[in-house]
Chains A and B, each alone.
Chain A
Amino acid sequence: MTDEAPTSCPYCDQRFAREQWQALHLGLEHDGKLTPAEREAVETARDEEEADLRTFRLKALAALVFLYFGFLFAYSLFA
Chain B
Amino acid sequence: MSDRAPLRGRRWLRRVTVILLVSALATGRALAHGGSLRSATPEELAIPTWLFLMTGGGVIGASFLLASFVTNRGFIDAVHEWHRLLSVPRETVFALVLKLVGVVGLGAVLYFGLFGPQFPLSNLAILTVWVGWWAGYTISVYLLGNTWEAVNPWRTLAEALPALDAPYPESLGAWPSVAGLLALVWLEVVSPLADQADLLATVVLAYTVVTLTGAVVYGPETWFSTVDPVSRVFRYYGRVAPFKRTKDGLSFRLPGAALSETRFVTGPDEIAFVIAILWVTTYDGLVTTPAWVDFATWLVGLGVPAVILYPAAILAGFALFLGAYRLATTKSIEYAETYLPPRTLANRFAPSLLAIAAGYHLAHFLGYFLSLSPALVTVAASPFSPPPDVPVLPLPSWFGGVNLTFVLLGHLGAIWVAHATAYDLFPSRLQAVRSQYPYIAVMMFYTMVSLWIVAEPALTPPFI
**CB pair A60 B430 closer than 8 Å:** no
Other-chain contact of A79, B51, B68, B426 (Cβ < 8 Å):
B51
Chain A residue at minimum C-beta to C-beta distance from B430: A52
**CB pair B58 A71 closer than 8 Å:** yes
**CB pair B433 A21 closer than 8 Å:** no
CB-CB under 8 A from B48, the residues of chain A are: 78-79
Interface-central residue, B54, B426, B427, B431, by most chain A CB under 10 Å: B427
Task: Mark each residue of chain B from 37 to 61: 1 if its CB lies under 8 Å from any CB of chain A, else 0.
Answer: 0000000001110010011001001
**CB pair B62 A64 closer than 8 Å:** yes
**CB pair B431 A21 closer than 8 Å:** yes
**CB pair B428 A20 closer than 8 Å:** yes
A52 to B432, CA, bound (A): 13
Other-chain contact of A15, B51, B54, B71, B339 (Cβ < 8 Å):
B339
Task: Mark each residue of chain B from 53 to 85: 1 if its CB lies under 8 Å from any CB of chain A, else 0.
Answer: 011001001100110110101000000000000
**CB pair A16 B427 closer than 8 Å:** yes
**CB pair A21 B51 closer than 8 Å:** no
- With contact pairs A2-B337, A78-B51 given, residues A49 and B58 touching in the complex (Cβ less than 8 Å): no
B52 to chain A, nearest CB (A): 10
Chain B residue at minimum C-beta to C-beta distance from A17: B337
A24 to chain B, nearest CB (A): 4
B261 to chain A, nearest CB (A): 18
**CB pair A56 B62 closer than 8 Å:** no
Task: Mark each residue of chain A from 7 to 50: 1 if its CB lies under 8 Å from any CB of chain B, else 0.
Answer: 00000001111101110110011000000000000000000010
* 15 A–B pairs (Cβ distance < 8 Å), ordered by A: A15-B339, A16-B338, A16-B339, A17-B337, A28-B427, A29-B427, A49-B429, A53-B71, A53-B430, A56-B430, A64-B66, A67-B58, A67-B65, A71-B54, A79-B46
Q: Which 5 interchain pairs have the tightest Cβ spacing?
A: A25-B427, A24-B427, A15-B339, A17-B337, A79-B47
Known A-B contacts: A21-B426, A71-B54. Give 17 more (CB < 8 A): A1-B337, A6-B339, A15-B339, A16-B339, A17-B338, A21-B428, A24-B428, A49-B430, A53-B71, A53-B429, A57-B68, A57-B71, A63-B65, A67-B61, A71-B55, A79-B46, A79-B48
